[in-house]
Amino acid sequence: MTERPLRIAVLGTADIARRRVLPAMAADPDIELTAVASRDGGRAREVADQFGCAAVESYDAVLTRDDVDAVYVPLPISLHAEWAGRALRAGKHVLAEKPLTADRPTTEALLDLARASGLVLMENVMFVHHPQHSVVRELVTSGAIGQLRAFSAAFAIPALPAGNIRHRPELGGGALLDVGYYPVRAALYFLGAGLEIVGAALENTGGSMVETSGAVLVRSPAGVLGQLAFGMEHAYRSAYELWGSEGRIRVEPAFTPSADHKPMVWITDAHGPRELTLAPHDQVAATVRAFVRAVRSGALQSPDAGECLEQASLLDAVRARATRTGAPRP
């Protein structure tokens, strides 16, 4: 007998939900979109009609529905803990946008709640589900560039309108949590746990109330240094490079490729430069499938709990270590 689809409702109508995650869920045969909730009824109806599901004007009302097994939470960061927590207490599995919360203690409390409730709580970190990164990791592990000596990563986006939620501190805005998340998570992915934040700087420009750019220096337990840069007033860039004793590997774009993008891995070693072209891969669909698998596996711990906690600790450490310039407007 075929297992019925996982019934998912969405709390909010954020751009990332409408553009990328909802289409991936709608296309997955193992998922049934049952409802879209928004405090703006017209907005809920607009998105729900597009995906053939119910429109709901209350987040709480979604959590009481019998036709909802799980919820996707694309709300602003400051609301993740509240609504992910309410969903878990209502017996729903949760896929929440990254970062799961704005600090480690809150993240740990949510993960503990999920574990105690026997429910999956997964942070929506899509790039780690793209196979290009596991290919790169295997190249490094196999010694393709000798001993790893240094790592660098950058993610930045062009300037956003002043009223964008990323400029609102009360909603969890700021470059560190929004775009800095990617190079920090990439460092964790390639250098492993136990990273030390050696130095950090956060910059406020243009009178913004949040940091608009930053840089971080990390050190791995093996002594590999990582340089991480991010910002939201830049020409777009999404890249990382691993530099070894005998060569280097670069990937660009790295973190948000489209589903039809053919990844290129640039390798320079003793034989000179070469390019490795990989097959296209839809990392959004892969993330959605990973969530469904986690729910169906009956796992007692969320699949990315360890990395989620480690990432939260690193972001806390960056804030604690960082020097700041360009003070925000009062």
Point out the residues that are catalytic.
98
Amino acid at 266: W
CB atoms within 10 A of CB 192: 13
- Give the whole-angstrom CA distance, residue 105 versus residue 11: 23
Tokens of 258: 């489209």
DSSP three-state, residue 185: helix
DSSP assignments along 18-45, one per residue = IIIIHHHHHH-TTEEEEEEE-SSHHHHH
Q: Which residue in the block uniquely carries the two structure tokens 């899509």?
A: 126
284: β partners = none
Tokens of 12: 């909010």
Tokens of 31: 């998922």
Residues 6+ apart with CB under 8 A from 223: none
Q: Which of 262, 258, 196, 185 is nearest to 225 (CA)?
A: 196
Start-to-end CA distance of the chain, whole Å, equals 62
DSSP three-state, residue 48: helix
